[in-house]
Amino acid sequence: MTLLESRVKGFELIAKAWNDYEIARSRAKASALSWKKHPAKKAADEVRAKGRELAEARRRAKITEWVLALYEWHFPWLAELRDLEWERSYVEGVKADGDAPEGEHADPVSHWLTAEEFAALDSVERNQRALDRYLASRKSAWEVGRDYERYVGYLREHAGATVTYHGIFKGGPGP
Protein backbone atom coordinates (compact mmCIF):
# COMPACT_ATOMS: atom_id res chain seq x y z
CA MET A 1 0.00 0.00 0.00
CA THR A 2 2.91 2.35 0.77
CA LEU A 3 4.32 1.76 -2.71
CA LEU A 4 0.98 2.69 -4.27
CA GLU A 5 0.72 5.85 -2.14
CA SER A 6 4.25 6.90 -3.09
CA ARG A 7 3.47 6.38 -6.80
CA VAL A 8 0.36 8.53 -6.59
CA LYS A 9 2.30 11.24 -4.72
CA GLY A 10 4.86 11.09 -7.51
CA PHE A 11 2.10 11.61 -10.06
CA GLU A 12 1.00 14.75 -8.23
CA LEU A 13 4.58 16.06 -8.05
CA ILE A 14 5.21 15.57 -11.77
CA ALA A 15 1.79 16.99 -12.68
CA LYS A 16 2.50 20.04 -10.50
CA ALA A 17 5.78 20.54 -12.38
CA TRP A 18 3.82 20.38 -15.65
CA ASN A 19 1.40 22.93 -14.19
CA ASP A 20 4.29 25.26 -13.26
CA TYR A 21 5.72 24.93 -16.76
CA GLU A 22 2.41 25.93 -18.37
CA ILE A 23 2.06 28.91 -16.03
CA ALA A 24 5.62 30.04 -16.83
CA ARG A 25 4.88 29.82 -20.57
CA SER A 26 1.73 31.92 -20.22
CA ARG A 27 3.57 34.47 -18.05
CA ALA A 28 6.30 34.79 -20.69
CA LYS A 29 3.71 35.36 -23.41
CA ALA A 30 1.85 37.87 -21.21
CA SER A 31 5.10 39.67 -20.41
CA ALA A 32 5.88 39.97 -24.11
CA LEU A 33 2.44 41.51 -24.65
CA SER A 34 2.91 43.92 -21.74
CA TRP A 35 6.35 45.17 -22.74
CA LYS A 36 6.08 45.42 -26.51
CA LYS A 37 6.21 48.81 -28.28
CA HIS A 38 2.42 49.17 -28.03
CA PRO A 39 1.53 47.26 -24.84
CA ALA A 40 -1.57 45.07 -24.78
CA LYS A 41 -2.17 44.92 -21.03
CA LYS A 42 -5.72 43.57 -21.22
CA ALA A 43 -4.65 40.82 -23.64
CA ALA A 44 -1.72 40.02 -21.33
CA ASP A 45 -4.10 39.60 -18.38
CA GLU A 46 -6.31 37.30 -20.48
CA VAL A 47 -3.28 35.24 -21.52
CA ARG A 48 -2.26 34.85 -17.86
CA ALA A 49 -5.79 33.77 -16.87
CA LYS A 50 -6.09 31.29 -19.73
CA GLY A 51 -2.61 30.00 -18.92
CA ARG A 52 -3.66 29.25 -15.32
CA GLU A 53 -6.79 27.47 -16.58
CA LEU A 54 -4.77 25.44 -19.09
CA ALA A 55 -2.16 24.57 -16.48
CA GLU A 56 -4.77 23.27 -14.04
CA ALA A 57 -6.56 21.30 -16.76
CA ARG A 58 -3.29 19.72 -17.92
CA ARG A 59 -2.30 18.91 -14.32
CA ARG A 60 -5.59 17.13 -13.70
CA ALA A 61 -5.48 15.35 -17.07
CA LYS A 62 -1.95 14.06 -16.44
CA ILE A 63 -2.86 12.74 -12.99
CA THR A 64 -5.94 11.04 -14.41
CA GLU A 65 -3.95 9.55 -17.28
CA TRP A 66 -1.29 8.14 -14.93
CA VAL A 67 -3.75 6.81 -12.38
CA LEU A 68 -5.70 5.08 -15.16
CA ALA A 69 -2.47 3.54 -16.47
CA LEU A 70 -1.61 2.40 -12.95
CA TYR A 71 -5.05 0.81 -12.48
CA GLU A 72 -4.84 -0.94 -15.84
CA TRP A 73 -1.35 -2.19 -14.94
CA HIS A 74 -2.58 -3.64 -11.64
CA PHE A 75 -5.91 -4.87 -13.07
CA PRO A 76 -5.37 -5.63 -16.79
CA TRP A 77 -8.98 -6.74 -17.29
CA LEU A 78 -10.11 -3.13 -16.74
CA ALA A 79 -8.79 -2.26 -20.21
CA GLU A 80 -11.40 -4.59 -21.69
CA LEU A 81 -14.16 -2.37 -20.27
CA ARG A 82 -13.04 0.66 -22.26
CA ASP A 83 -14.84 1.46 -25.49
CA LEU A 84 -11.82 2.36 -27.60
CA GLU A 85 -13.94 3.01 -30.70
CA TRP A 86 -15.94 5.64 -28.81
CA GLU A 87 -12.76 7.14 -27.34
CA ARG A 88 -11.19 7.41 -30.80
CA SER A 89 -14.30 9.07 -32.24
CA TYR A 90 -14.41 11.51 -29.30
CA VAL A 91 -10.76 12.48 -29.69
CA GLU A 92 -11.06 12.81 -33.48
CA GLY A 93 -14.22 14.91 -33.09
CA VAL A 94 -16.43 12.55 -35.06
CA LYS A 95 -20.05 12.16 -34.01
CA ALA A 96 -21.13 8.68 -32.96
CA ASP A 97 -23.22 8.29 -36.10
CA GLY A 98 -20.73 10.01 -38.41
CA ASP A 99 -21.32 13.37 -40.04
CA ALA A 100 -24.75 12.57 -41.44
CA PRO A 101 -27.24 15.40 -41.81
CA GLU A 102 -29.93 15.78 -39.16
CA GLY A 103 -32.37 12.88 -39.19
CA GLU A 104 -30.15 10.64 -41.34
CA HIS A 105 -27.72 7.95 -40.24
CA ALA A 106 -24.34 7.57 -41.90
CA ASP A 107 -23.50 4.25 -43.45
CA PRO A 108 -21.43 2.43 -40.78
CA VAL A 109 -19.20 1.17 -43.59
CA SER A 110 -17.85 4.72 -44.02
CA HIS A 111 -16.01 4.34 -40.70
CA TRP A 112 -13.75 1.68 -42.23
CA LEU A 113 -13.13 3.29 -45.65
CA THR A 114 -11.62 6.49 -46.94
CA ALA A 115 -14.02 8.93 -48.59
CA GLU A 116 -12.44 8.11 -51.97
CA GLU A 117 -12.94 4.36 -51.49
CA PHE A 118 -16.51 4.86 -50.34
CA ALA A 119 -17.32 6.91 -53.44
CA ALA A 120 -15.45 4.68 -55.93
CA LEU A 121 -16.59 1.20 -54.86
CA ASP A 122 -19.99 -0.37 -55.44
CA SER A 123 -21.93 -1.39 -52.33
CA VAL A 124 -20.83 -5.05 -52.38
CA GLU A 125 -17.12 -4.22 -52.67
CA ARG A 126 -17.50 -1.42 -50.11
CA ASN A 127 -19.19 -3.70 -47.58
CA GLN A 128 -16.66 -6.50 -48.10
CA ARG A 129 -13.65 -4.20 -47.70
CA ALA A 130 -15.13 -2.68 -44.56
CA LEU A 131 -15.89 -6.14 -43.15
CA ASP A 132 -12.32 -7.30 -43.88
CA ARG A 133 -10.90 -4.26 -42.09
CA TYR A 134 -13.26 -4.70 -39.17
CA LEU A 135 -12.26 -8.36 -38.76
CA ALA A 136 -8.55 -7.48 -39.01
CA SER A 137 -8.81 -4.77 -36.35
CA ARG A 138 -7.83 -5.61 -32.79
CA LYS A 139 -10.86 -5.95 -30.57
CA SER A 140 -11.00 -6.68 -26.86
CA ALA A 141 -13.21 -9.47 -25.61
CA TRP A 142 -15.67 -6.84 -24.39
CA GLU A 143 -15.85 -5.18 -27.83
CA VAL A 144 -16.43 -8.53 -29.57
CA GLY A 145 -19.19 -9.35 -27.09
CA ARG A 146 -20.75 -5.90 -27.49
CA ASP A 147 -20.76 -6.18 -31.28
CA TYR A 148 -22.21 -9.69 -31.17
CA GLU A 149 -24.97 -8.57 -28.81
CA ARG A 150 -25.77 -5.62 -31.07
CA TYR A 151 -25.95 -7.86 -34.12
CA VAL A 152 -28.21 -10.46 -32.48
CA GLY A 153 -30.35 -7.65 -31.07
CA TYR A 154 -30.61 -6.09 -34.52
CA LEU A 155 -31.79 -9.41 -36.00
CA ARG A 156 -34.36 -9.92 -33.23
CA GLU A 157 -35.69 -6.35 -33.53
CA HIS A 158 -36.20 -6.82 -37.26
CA ALA A 159 -38.10 -10.00 -36.46
CA GLY A 160 -40.46 -7.91 -34.31
CA ALA A 161 -39.06 -8.63 -30.85
CA THR A 162 -38.35 -6.09 -28.14
CA VAL A 163 -34.68 -6.29 -27.18
CA THR A 164 -32.93 -5.27 -23.97
CA TYR A 165 -29.17 -4.95 -24.38
CA HIS A 166 -28.22 -6.34 -21.00
CA GLY A 167 -24.56 -7.24 -21.59
CA ILE A 168 -23.61 -3.91 -23.13
CA PHE A 169 -24.94 -1.83 -20.26
CA LYS A 170 -24.80 -4.16 -17.26
CA GLY A 171 -21.94 -6.48 -18.14
CA GLY A 172 -21.91 -10.16 -18.89
CA PRO A 173 -22.44 -12.97 -16.41
CA GLY A 174 -18.69 -13.38 -15.87
CA PRO A 175 -16.62 -16.56 -15.71
Give the tens place of pLDDT for each residue, 75-89: 777 776 776 666 666
Lowest mean pLDDT among 13-27, 55-69, 97-111, 143-157: 97-111
Segment (H or E) for 118: helix 115-120
**Mean pLDDT for all residues in the chain:** 78
Compute the distance between CA of residue 28 and CA of residue 32 in angstroms, rounded to an integer: 6
The conformation of residue 111, written as its DSSP 8-state character, comes to: G
Considering only CA atoms, which of 43, 25, 23, 24 is closest in space to residue 33? Answer: 43
CA distances for 14 relative to 25, 68, 74, angstroms = 17, 16, 21
Note whether 72 and 78 are within 8 A (CB).
Answer: yes
The pLDDT of residue 55: 87
Say yes or no to pLDDT of 159 above 90.
Answer: yes
The pLDDT of residue 4: 54
